[in-house]
Structure 1
Amino acid sequence: MGSAMNPPSMSEAKPALSRRRGRIQLLLIVLGVVGPMLLATGMYKLQFWVPEGRSYHGELIGNGQTRADLGVQADEQRWQILVTAPKDCAVDCQQLVYLARQIQISLGREAGRASHALAAAQPLSADYAARLDREYPQLQRYPLDAGVFARTTGDKAVPQLWIVDPHGNLVLRYEPNVKGKDLLNDLRHLLKLSNIG
């Protein structure tokens, strides 16, 4: 009667159940580590579930182009809000120059980490040059090589505004109709993330 009892079979069932649980746990751990990598690779290769949203408002320049690729020779070690005028600096250009200065002022205590500049392919009118001397004393001015600019930008003849990092790399580009608040938010975000400049 003692041999008909179930204790031996119960003791044999416990290691089998324990092994099964261990295998399931190991499988879950492997899936937890390898699964996200496989999912991320699939998302990248097959372009599914890729978020459409972005946190910046300008056009991201991620191809390694520098300020020199625009036809501007400058040695600025801070972040720069650069306005380019491939033709004369007319109304749109002047609005961007004004906006660049206002953005730098709006940075508050971070204003020393950035500068504003104008690169023009043609000489400025005497009136506008005098106004810049009087009202924009910190504005840096550079000549713009229109041929280099046209090769880089695809011959865009409109003035544009660029955010340039302290190494001279182009980061973001904006059209003349950019909203100041959007530009300020982008620059603040870059300064927050950056250890340079």
Structure 2
Amino acid sequence: MGAAMNPPNTANVPNRKPGWRGRLQLILILLVVIGPMILATGMYKLQFWVPESRSYHGELIGNGQNRGDLGVQADEQRWQMLVTAPQECSVDCQQLVYLARQIQVGLGREASRASHALATAQPVSADYDAKLQREYPQLRRYPLDLPTYTKATQGNGAAQLWIIDPHGNLVLRYDAKVKGKDLLNDLNLLLKLSNIG
């Protein structure tokens, strides 16, 4: 009973302070958690260790531009292949319009998730207008505001095809040399990865 009343003798017990091992473990845990975020931020900001390979064929538009920035006012809630013609819709423009229609058909059961359209700064010729009405019944047509378009494309006067997401954001751009298979593969990949539109 006397032993229970007396406090234990602590004179011989060493005073334990956190040692270097504990600090090292804490630093390693912080590096594992925060390190990848710091590395990814540095890679993005400084553009180092960025892989050169890509899975798309067009020019990626990653600057936040939307359809309105091109000078096209449209309310489309689906993915859209938009052909723009700042000058007359000549051979390259007509080829891209044809390609956009063929790509939509090539989408098969996913075709309802996309549309094709033409935006021109000048009226198309009477012959081509009749052809569009006859052979392209689903083609949407819009006026193209030339000053806005010229500013957005830095004066590029060639016909171009743009893939635009259902929110109106520009995703990819193609010139008249694009191959139909490449364009179809890109759009199929976007539709597969997206749950919108």
Q: TM-score by structure 2 length?
A: 0.82
Following the alignment from structure 2 to structure 1, what is the Cα–Cα distance between the partners of residues 45 and 70? 33
Moved more, 135-144 or 39-48: 39-48
Q: Does 1:106 find its partner at 2:106?
A: yes
Q: Could you tell which deviates more after superposition, 166-175 or 40-49?
A: 40-49
Aligned twin of 1:93: 93
Equivalence for 2:8: none
Displacement, 1:104? Answer: 0.4
Residue 74 of structure 2 aligns to a residue in which SS? coil
Matched residue, 2:153: 153
- State the secondary structure of the residue aligned to 1:187: helix
Q: SS of the residue aligned with 2:138?
A: coil
Question: Which region of structure 1 is more displaced relative to structure 2, 165-174 or 35-44?
Answer: 35-44
Aligned pair in 2 of structure 1 residues 149, 27: CA closer, same or farther (>3 Å)? closer
Q: Deviations over 1:127-176 (max 9, x none)?
A: 11111111111111111111211111111110000011112111111111
Q: Deviations over 1:69-90 (max 9, x none)?
A: 1111111111110000101110
| Pairing 1:1-197 to 2, within 5 Å after superposition | 29-197=29-197
Runs of 4+ in 1 over 2 A off after TM superposition: 19-48
Task: Identify the structure with the greater helix proportion.
Answer: 1
Q: In 2 relative to 1, CA 44–83 (structure 1 residues): closer, same or farther, beyond 3 Å?
A: closer
Post-superposition offset of 1:28: 5.2
Aligned to 1:15: none
d(CA) in 1 for partners of 2:111, 2:162: 17
Aligned-CA RMSD value? 2.1
Percent of residue pairs identical: 76
CA distance in structure 2 between the partners assigned to 1:104 and 1:44 by the alignment: 34
CA distance in 1, matches of 2:105, 2:186: 15
CA 1:188–1:23: 2 relative to 1, 3 Å:
same
Relative distance call for 1:29 and 1:58 in structure 2 (3 A) is same
Q: Distance in 2 between the 1:181 and 1:162 partners?
A: 16
**Distance 1:100-1:31 versus aligned 2 partners, 3 A rule:** same
One-letter code of the match for 2:177? N
| TM-score, with length taken from structure 1 | 0.82
Structure 1 pair 141–33 and aligned structure 2 pair: CA distance change class (3 A):
same
Gaps of 5+ in 2: 1-18
Structure 1, unmatched stretches of 5+, are 1-18
In the alignment, the residues of structure 2 paired with residue 20 and residue 69 of structure 1 have an alpha-carbon distance, to the nearest angstrom, of 58
3-state DSSP of counterpart to 1:80: strand
